[in-house]
Amino acid sequence: MAKLNWGMIGGGEGSQIGPAHRLGAQADGLFAFTAGALDHRAEAGRAYAQRLGIAPDRAYGDWREMLDGEKARDDKVDLVTVATPNATHFEITKAFLEAGFNVLCEKPMTMTVEEGEEIVRVAEKTGKICAVNYCYSAYPMVRQARAMVRAGEIGKVRLVVTAFSHGHHGDATDADNPRVRWRYDPAMAGVSGQFADCGIHALHMASFICDDEVETLSADFASTIPSRELEDDAMVNFRMSGGTVGRLWTSSVAIGRQHGFEIQVFGETGGLKWFSEQPNQLIYTPVKGRTQIIEKGEGGLHEDAQRLSRVSIAHPEGFPLAVANIYCDLADAIRGETRDGLPNAAAGVRSMAAVHTAVASAKAGGAWMDARPGMFR
């Protein structure tokens, strides 16, 4: 089967997320890296793209040049990844969708709910794929957890508890570091800091595994370092449409925690636990039974977990291969095979609605509010 052509905007030299996308997109031989506008500095972006093997005529200076160049080609890219600063996601994603390209956008998909709803409408109108890189949902054992919930193996879900908390921004003496400071600056990060950065991964994971959507929420935000205008710690309680109770904690000042992304799902007949620092294992406890460790790669797993496991049991599969699983699902979707685990534009706008609702709730002293975007109420 011929490789699909892939292009990337952003994710240039020194980027945190760029290497994960390049490794992920090419891990299974499904995509060829054929075009890129990798840096806001045109010449630096062109030079880096060529060092990565992109032909000079497809090493673009900016995304508009890439859009014009690719539209004119018979061998134009089949998928564009948008890995630029948050505030640019809407404009770039919308332009490429309208021009007939499939898009994978880094989260958050947009800065406002209205922009997110517009992306959903454009994707529906054009018939093109708009996916959002909630890549933690593509770990094999997360897919196993979702399949077990869907199969009724822990009964009706009563409670989901999740956290995404680290301590890497906990040093007040480092608060003015430009790589840290922008995350708490409304002009660059938007209305939310830590919740929009990490908390929405946890919220999406809760919806993904429970196969349900957040309906209402109540939030408490804190800026524990006084110079920060946006929150660096948040607690969000939520209720899902199916009646599940949710608890979420996210923090960037939890010194001692390294990555700290974990989720526990408690049903009527059992419970599940997964944490990203040991992603090959899913812990399962049936009611009145012994706790079991389900290992990635062992026999008897659900189909999605088997399909997305690449290496043999006891060998770790990390973050870049979780990103690669998103690209696997995208390749299938582009070729016409539906993968319902692929996070889409609807997931993106639901996340943005939750962010804005959490901000409003925190300002209102934790008042419970409807967290659904208007188009889904």
DSSP 8-state code for residue 4: E
What was the pLDDT predicted at 148? Answer: 98
Decide: helix, strand or coil at residue 26.
helix
d(CA 351, CA 346): 9
The pTM (predicted TM-score) of the whole model is: 0.95
Residues 161 and 302 in one domain: yes
- Residues 145 and 282 grouped into a single domain: yes
Show the tokens assigned to 282: 């899913």
CATH code, domain carrying 89: 3.40.50.720
d(CA 232, CA 252): 6
Residue 178 belongs to some domain of the structure: yes
User: What is the span of the domain harbouring residue 89?
Assistant: 4-132
Question: Residue 214: which pLDDT band, with cuts at 50, 70 and 90?
Answer: very high
Dihedral-angle region of residue 13 (phi above 0 means left; psi in -120 to 50 means alpha; beta otherwise):
beta
Same domain for 250 and 104: no
- Quickly count: other Cβ atoms within 10 Å of residue 358's Cβ: 30
Number of domains in the chain: 2
Nearest CA-CA partner of 139 in 276, 343, 265, 334: 276
User: Is 324 part of a structural domain of the chain?
Assistant: no
Q: Please determine, for residue 315, whether its predicted confidence score (pLDDT) is greater than 80.
A: no
The answer to the question of residue 336 being in a domain is no
Whether residue 335 contacts residue 192, with contact meaning beta carbons closer than 8 Å, is answered with: no
Tokens representing residue 306 in the block: 């088997």
Mean pLDDT of 316-339: 93
Work out the average pLDDT over 266-280. 97
Query: Could you report the per-residue pLDDT of 142-197, keeping only the tens digit for each?
Result: 999 999 999 999 999 999 999 999 999 999 998 888 889 888 999 888 899 999 99
Q: What integer pLDDT is reported at residue 263 of this predicted model?
A: 98
Domain end residue (candidates: 98, 132, 166): 132
User: Taking 80 as the threshold, does the pLDDT of residue 314 lie above it?
Assistant: no
Q: Is the pLDDT at 3 greater than 90, yes or no?
A: yes
> Considering Cα of 36, then 38, then 44, then 47, what sign does the dihedral take?
negative
CA-closest candidate to residue 31, choices 371, 232, 331: 331
Q: Is there a single domain that holds both residue 286 and residue 360?
A: yes
Residues 166 and 26 in one domain: no
Inside any domain, residue 162 = yes
Is 22 inside any structural domain?
yes
| CATH number (domain holding residue 290) | 3.30.360.10
Same domain, 108 and 169: no
Residue 316: per-residue pLDDT? 74
Give the separation between CA 282 and CA 292, rounded to whole angstroms. 8
Among 79, 98, 132, which residue terminates a domain? 132
The predicted-structure confidence for 66-116, as pLDDT tens digits, reads as follows 999 999 999 999 999 999 988 899 999 999 999 999 999 999 999 999 999
Model pLDDT, residue 118: 98
Over residues 12-38, the mean pLDDT reads 95
Q: Which two tokens stand for residue 349?
A: 């706008």
Please check whether residue 335 lies inside any domain of the structure. Answer: no
Task: Please tell me the number of Cα atoms within 13 Å of 146 on its side-chain side.
Answer: 22
Phi first, then psi, for residue 103 (nearest 5°) are -135, 135
pLDDT given at position 179: 81
Structural domain contains residue 317: no
- Looking at the domain assignment, is residue 340 inside a domain? no
**Portion of the chain with pLDDT greater than 90, in percent:** 91
Torsion 186-189-195-196 (CA) sign: positive
